[in-house]
């Protein structure tokens, strides 16, 4: 059995981006100290896995807090761990609030990977996306990562933004590659329910880019990054050999993980459970009971197998249907055979035994994954 990976949620951002549906909140007026008190109490009461293979601190923007607060929660976490167990320790950051001092604090606490929310290298598209940093700050933030000696860097980018042309997207990829990251996450803009962008679209004030343009950007990304030595290993993720995000691979391989913080999820001993999302209710629950779990789910049999396939099919390595079926006491041909055959006929899947997305399947990966549920 794999040891659980570890996730900490720091839910604060400078502002709430209009496309974002993550559990995040604008920093101004928030009681950060109270939240960090609750996070520490939750870690005390539930117990942090002392030897996680990977650690990921996400948000929100975990580095938007003050240097003192950043050092506080990193100290609080690291003292609970056995030294040297995590192969990968990632912290998310945004260019506008990331400083040399904060980079040095990360490095001093063993962080070896920074995931930087660049999103675009065009000022007008940064404005569309509601980002508060400018283009120049992206390179400055990368320089802080390098100067601190943090060896691994991911840049997040968003395509299919209204008004973005294929030529501009190609230039965006060029600008990102010039900063020499070992990993790029390239996401298509999604109008998620509950976001400001979703409301604008529903009101007719914003239009999704044409499907053929989004498809063109999707295909061009794979082609351009492959030439630069970054290979697609998941629908939206590209890495140089040996530089894939191990933490996210753990999710897609259905490995266990322990999550702490408001809205964080855990998957332990076959059970998935999630924390209260509201900051005040989270802190109140932790103070009262030591935890803030509000949902629990345990899948078994066909449902559990289907979820494993859904997660793994998004990766370039694909999925061994026989191994998953045996793990859940099922017959792979009976449970998955008809679905696999149909998807092969539609040229969305390929392979035998271990199946993976075919070239046409990558652009409709969510639909292919859903077919197994």
Q: Which CATH number do you get for residue 330? A: 1.10.10.10
Same domain, 214 and 132: yes
DSSP string for residues in 157-226: EEES-TT--HHHHHHHHHHHHHT--SEEEEEE----TTSHHHHHHHTTS--PPPHHHHHHHHHHHHHHHH
Q: Are residues 11 and 131 in the same domain?
A: yes
Mean pLDDT computed over 191-210: 96
C-beta of residue 172 within 8 angstroms of C-beta of residue 225:
no
Over residues 14-21, mean pLDDT: 95
Q: What is the pLDDT of residues 148-166, one digit of tens each?
A: 999 999 999 999 999 999 9
* Pair (224, 151) in one structural domain: yes
What φ, ψ does residue 252 adopt, rounded to 5°? -70, -25
- Residue 323: inside a domain: yes
Reduced to 3 states (helix: H, G, I; strand: E, B; else coil), residue 136 is helix
Same structural domain for residues 225 and 310? no
Whether the CA torsion 179, 251, 276, 130 is positive or negative: it is positive
Query: Can you give the CATH number for the domain in which 186 is found?
Result: 3.20.20.70
pLDDT in tens, 73-115: 999 999 999 988 899 999 999 999 999 999 999 999 999 999 9
Query: Which residues, in sequence order, are bridge partners of residue 58?
Result: 9
Task: Please check whether residues 90 and 204 belong to one and the same domain.
Answer: yes
Average pLDDT rounded to a whole number, residues 31-58 = 97
The mean pLDDT value for 331-343 works out to 93
Q: Measured between alpha carbons, how far is residue 195 from residues 16, 24, 133, 199, 265 in Å?
A: 10, 12, 20, 7, 21
Same domain, 211 and 338: no
Q: What is the pTM of this model?
A: 0.96
Q: Of 252, 275, 292, which residue is a domain's last?
A: 252
pLDDT tens, position by position, 293-333: 999 999 999 999 999 999 999 999 999 999 999 999 999 99
What pLDDT, on a 0 to 100 scale, did the predictor assign at position 2?
81
Q: Based on the domain organization, do 17 and 111 belong to the same domain? A: yes
* 309 and 241 together in one domain: no
Task: Give the domain range for residue 355.
Answer: 301-370
Q: Do 238 and 313 have their domain in common?
A: no
How many distinct structural domains can be found in the chain?
2
Average pLDDT over residues 32-47: 97
Q: Are residues 216 and 356 in the same domain?
A: no
Co-location of 178 and 30 in the same domain: yes
Report the chain's mean pLDDT, rounded to a whole number.
96
Is residue 222 in some structural domain?
yes
Residues 243-293: tens digit of each pLDDT: 999 999 999 999 999 999 999 999 999 999 999 999 999 999 999 999 999
The reply to whether 278 falls in a domain is no
- Is the model's pLDDT at 1 over the cut of 70? no
* Domain match, 212 and 334 both: no
């Amino acid at each position: 059995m794999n040891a659980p990976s570890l996730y900490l949620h720091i839910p604060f951002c400078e502002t709430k981006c209009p496309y974002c549906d993550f559990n995040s909140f604008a920093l101004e007026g928030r009681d950060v100290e109270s939240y960090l008190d609750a996070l520490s109490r939750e870690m005390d009461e539930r117990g942090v896995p002392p030897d996680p293979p990977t650690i990921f601190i996400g948000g929100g923007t975990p580095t938007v807090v003050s240097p003192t607060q950043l050092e506080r929660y990193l100290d609080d976490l690291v003292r609970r761990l056995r030294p040297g167990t995590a192969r990968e320790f990632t912290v998310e950051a945004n260019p506008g609030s990331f400083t040399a001092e904060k980079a040095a604090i990360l490095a001093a606490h063993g962080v070896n990977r920074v995931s930087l929310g660049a999103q675009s290298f065009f000022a007008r598209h940064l404005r569309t996306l509601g980002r508060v940093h400018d283009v120049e700050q992206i390179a400055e933030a990368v320089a802080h990562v390098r100067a601190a000696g943090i060896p691994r860097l991911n840049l997040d980018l968003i395509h299919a933004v209204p008004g973005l042309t294929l030529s501009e997207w190609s230039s965006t990829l060029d600008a990102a590659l010039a900063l020499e990251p070992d990993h790029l996450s390239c996401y298509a803009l999604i109008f998620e329910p509950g976001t400001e962008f979703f409301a604008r679209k529903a009101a007719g004030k914003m239009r999704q880019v044409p499907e053929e343009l989004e498809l063109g950007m999707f295909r061009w990304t794979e082609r351009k990054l492959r030439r630069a030595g970054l290979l697609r290993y998941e629908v939206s993720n590209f890495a140089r050999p040996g530089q894939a995000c191990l933490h996210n691979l753990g999710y897609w391989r259905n490995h266990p993980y322990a999550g702490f913080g408001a809205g964080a999820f855990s998957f332990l001993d076959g059970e998935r459970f999630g924390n209260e999302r509201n900051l005040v209710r989270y802190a109140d629950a932790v103070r009262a009971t030591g935890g803030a779990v509000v949902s629990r789910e345990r899948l078994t049999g066909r449902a559990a197998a289907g979820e494993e396939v859904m997660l793994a099919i998004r990766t370039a390595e694909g999925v061994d249907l026989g191994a998953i079926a045996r793990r859940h006491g099922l017959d792979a041909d009976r449970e998955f055979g008809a679905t696999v055959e149909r998807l092969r006929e539609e040229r969305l899947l390929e392979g035998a035994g271990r199946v993976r997305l075919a070239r046409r399947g990558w652009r409709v990966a969510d639909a292919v994954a859903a077919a197994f549920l």
